[in-house]
Structure 1
């Protein structure tokens, strides 16, 4: 039986990928950021997951205003790095797990989630930067990946509670898959940041820290947090944090925190990262 063994959340800042790709990880500015991921890199080497369900948002690479799915699952064989305007990142192609992905898609749809099924798409920094900070610069990614894209770009994004419920449904789907697989689920994006307007550059460390605390101590509060609080306290792009609740919902009512990392700044964003184990 497949099983979800860990939930991981991380920011997916494009400048982090650029720093890695251009050999800047040892620079004084970037060194603290990459040092913060050394723990999880060792964790992943020990855990050896077979598949990662990677929850992310597209940044107008695969989707645009012509086509805006709320939840979309990738069921393809592989996904190429997207050209986001300066050429694709020099990272390996992302290998999918179609059998498990189709099983999850079927289970979710029969569980009354209206999923968009994608068999072909390029994936941008929202997906590739988390892989890079967890696994470094291998010739091939050491896991198969099921992309799960969430609309947090165009209003209205899904509620935190709906994201949590989707995570619960994903856990049920994984548990019903017959092959013995070590599966992790990752939530990406955030933390507090705003990229435009009078509040551009907003970072709210106390709010971010409280969000990290509540992932284990009071997850129900996060389930029911309204969109307006994300926007007010964490900036316009802080709404990406609802994707962390898909990861958290998949772990069950209780979760154990194994590790966290928080750093300001990285570009104009707060970097947040946490590793959780499903509770009893």
Structure 2
């Protein structure tokens, strides 16, 4: 049977890809940010997942504003990255797990989540950069990856509670998969930031730290926040943190916190890393 061994959260800042490609990880501006991934990388090395399900939001590489699904699941054998305007060489393609993806799609629809099923899907920095931060760069990636895209760009966007419920449905779907598969859920995005308008550059460190604590230990606190509440406090792009709730919903209520790290600002963003072990006693 499939087993959810844990969950990780990560910001998916575009500039991270540029830093990795240019080997800037130990430069003063970037060092503390990348050092925060050390314990998460070590946990992954010991946990040995077969598959990582990456919950992220597409930034126009796969979906444009004329067609934006609320939830979209990759159901392909392979996923390709492409240049988003940074001039960076796309990373190696990611191997998917189509049989698992189709099982998830069927189960999620049965649980009344109307998932868009994508048999071709390009993946942008929201998907790629967290994997690069956790695994480095590879010509052949050491883990299979399945994209689960959540709309946080074109309003109306789903609520934190709806994402939490999606996580619970995802957990139930994985538990019914008959193949022995070790799975990690990677919730990406956030934390507080806004990239435009009069409040551009807003970062609320206190709110970010409280979110990290509450999502880990009391997710109902975050689920009770409206989208308006989140964007008022954390900025318009701070709404991305709802995707952490998909990860949290898929795990046990008593999943153990292994690691927390927060750094701000990095590229005008509050950046958090959280590791939850779903098997720890």
Q: Report the TM-score, using the length of structure 1 for normalisation.
A: 0.97
1:254 aligned partner:
254
User: 1:100, 1:177 within 8 Å by CA — same for their partners in 2?
Assistant: yes
Q: Deviations over 1:60-110 (max 9, x none)?
A: 110011211000000001111122123454422111100000000000011
Matched, 1:166 2:166: yes
**Distance in 1 of aligned mates of 2:267 and 2:275:** 23
1:157 aligned partner:
157
The number of aligned residues is: 280
3-state SS of the aligned residue for 2:54? strand
Q: Report the TM-score, using the length of structure 2 for normalisation.
A: 0.97
| CA distance 1:161–1:89, shift in 2 (3 Å) | farther
Matched, 1:266 2:245: no
1:191 aligned partner:
191
User: 2:2, 2:175 within 8 Å by CA — same for their partners in 1?
Assistant: yes
**Distance in 2 of aligned mates of 1:87 and 1:93:** 17
Matched, 1:59 2:59: yes
Q: Deviations over 1:183-206 (max 9, x none)?
A: 011110000000011111111100
User: 2:51, 2:143 within 8 Å by CA — same for their partners in 1?
Assistant: yes
User: 1:81, 1:89 within 8 Å by CA — same for their partners in 2?
Assistant: no
User: 2:83, 2:89 within 8 Å by CA — same for their partners in 1?
Assistant: yes
1:42 aligned partner:
42
Q: Deviations over 1:192-244 (max 9, x none)?
A: 00001111111110000000110233211111210111111110000001100
1:209 aligned partner:
209
User: 2:83, 2:90 within 8 Å by CA — same for their partners in 1?
Assistant: no
**Distance in 2 of aligned mates of 1:37 and 1:117:** 31
**Distance in 1 of aligned mates of 2:192 and 2:55:** 18
User: 2:215, 2:221 within 8 Å by CA — same for their partners in 1?
Assistant: no
**Distance in 1 of aligned mates of 2:160 and 2:264:** 25
- Once the 2 structures are TM-superposed, how far is the Cα of residue 31 of structure 1 from its aligned partner? 1.1
- What value does the CA root-mean-square deviation take over the aligned residues? 1.2
**Distance in 1 of aligned mates of 2:32 and 2:126:** 21
Could you list the runs of 5+ residues in structure 1 that have no partner in the other structure?
A: none
